[in-house]
Amino acid sequence: MKCNRFVTLLLVSALALSFAACKEKRKLVIRGSNTMLPILKLVEKTYEEEHPDVDLVVSGPGSEAGLDALEAGEADIATSSREVYPGELDKLKENGPVEVQEVAYDCLLLVVHPDNPIESLRLQETSDIFAGKIKNWKEVGGADLPIKVLVRNEKSGSADYFEEHVLRQLDLGEAAFEKAREREYAEGAEVVESNADMSKIISDSPGAIGFMGMGSAEKVHTALVQTLNYARVPGEQPVAPTIENVYNRTYRLSRPMYLVFRPGKNADADTFAEWMISDEGQRMIKAAGYLRNTMEEIQVIEQKNKSQESEK
C-alpha cells in the first residue's frame, strides 16, 4: 500500500513538473506574409529545438494583416513580402521604435495550368492579361482558350507588389506608371486567400493564370502549376525564374522579404531576428527555396578571386 502511494506521489510530481515546464514556455507570435510561411514552417522546429523555452506561433494571413497585428500588439513580429509603406511605418512608430530587417530575397512567378503551351510572357502582355485587355490565350500565341485571372487577396504583400510593379507597370518606369496608375484587375478576376488555393484552382482550370512566390511554387505546388519565363521589355530575352537568375538579376520580377518588430520590447523577438540573419538562419532560408539575404562565405571568396583575376 505504501509502495502504491509512493509511486502515485512520484507520478503526480512528474506531472506537476511537466505542467510547470509547459507553462514556462514563452510564446513568440509571428504573423504576416503568406509568401514567407514556408520559411517560418521550416525554421520553426529547428529554432524551438535550439530555444526550448520558446514556442513559435506562426501564421500567414498576409503582409498587411501582419503589420496590423504588430500595431495592435497582437504579434511580436510581422513578416512582409513588400516594403513597409511610409504611412504604415509612421503609424507603427507612434507606439515606439520599429525595426524593418531584410532577411531574404524572393521572386514572383507567373503560374499557369501545366498543359498550357505558353512558355513566357513580357510585362506589357502580363499587365494586359491581368487587366482584362487580353482575354484569350490565342492573343499571345497560345490555344483558343478564355483566360481566367486569379489574384491574391488585398492583405497579401505579393498582391501589393504585383499590382504596383506589373499591373500598373512601375517596372517600365515612371511615365508608364503614370499612364497605368488607375489600372484595375480584370472584371471577374477571382480573389484567392492563399497560394495553396491559387495552385489548386489553376490545376483545375486549363485557362487560369496567377502569381505566387518562388518558395511556394517550387517547394509546395510544382506538381500543380507551370511557371513561365519572364521579361520586362521586348528587347529582353525571357528568362526562367531560377535562384541563379534571381541572384544575377536577369529574372526581373523579384523583391526582398522583411521582419518587422519593436527592438528592445521583447528579448525573444530580438533574438529570433538576429538568428534569422545568422549563417544558420540564412541556410534555412535557402533550404526553404528562397535566396539568402547575405552571401555565403564561399560565394564571397569566389567573387574576390574573380575580381583579382580581372585586375591582372
How much is the pLDDT for 222? 58
Report how far Cα 295 is from the mean position of its chain's Cα atoms: 19
Q: Reduced to 3 states, what is the DSSP secondary structure of residue 280?
A: helix
236 C-beta neighbours (distance < 10 Å), count: 13
pLDDT of residue 303: 41
Cβ(81)–Cβ(158) below 8 Å: yes
Regarding pTM above 0.75, the answer is no
Q: How far is CA 53 from the centre of its chain?
A: 27
Question: Which residue type occupies 279?
Answer: D
pLDDT of residue 156: 77
Ramachandran area for residue 10 (φ above 0: left; ψ -120 to 50: alpha; else beta)? alpha
DSSP state of 145: -
Pairing state of beta strands 120-122 and 229-231?
parallel
pLDDT at residue 9, as a whole number: 53
Cell numbers 524551438 correspond to: 48
**List of domains in the chain:** 18-105+255-294 (3.40.190.10), 108-254 (3.40.190.10)
Instruction: Give residue for cell 510530481.
Output: 13
User: Which residue, among 213, 240, 253, has the nearest Cα to 62 in the 3D structure?
Assistant: 213
Q: What is the Cα–Cα distance from 59 to 125, expressed in whole angstroms?
A: 34
Could you tell me which of 261, 30, 203 has the C-alpha nearest to residue 212? 203
Give the residue among 154, 126, 280 at the shortest CA–CA distance from 210: 126
Model pLDDT for residues 117-129, shown as the tens digit of each residue: 999 999 999 999 9
- Taking residue 223's Cβ as centre, other Cβ atoms within 10 Å add up to 8
Instruction: Give the residue ranges of the chain where pLDDT is below 50.
Output: 2, 6-7, 19-21, 220, 298-308, 310-312
Q: Are 120 and 231 in contact (CB under 8 A)?
A: yes
Distance CA 242, CA 252 (A): 11
What pLDDT score was predicted for residue 242? Answer: 84
> Which pLDDT belongs to residue 14?
55
User: What's the pLDDT score for residue 289?
Assistant: 75
- What pLDDT is recorded for position 218? 56
What does the pLDDT read at residue 53?
97
Q: How far is CA 252 from CA 108, 191, 245, 275, in A?
A: 9, 24, 9, 29
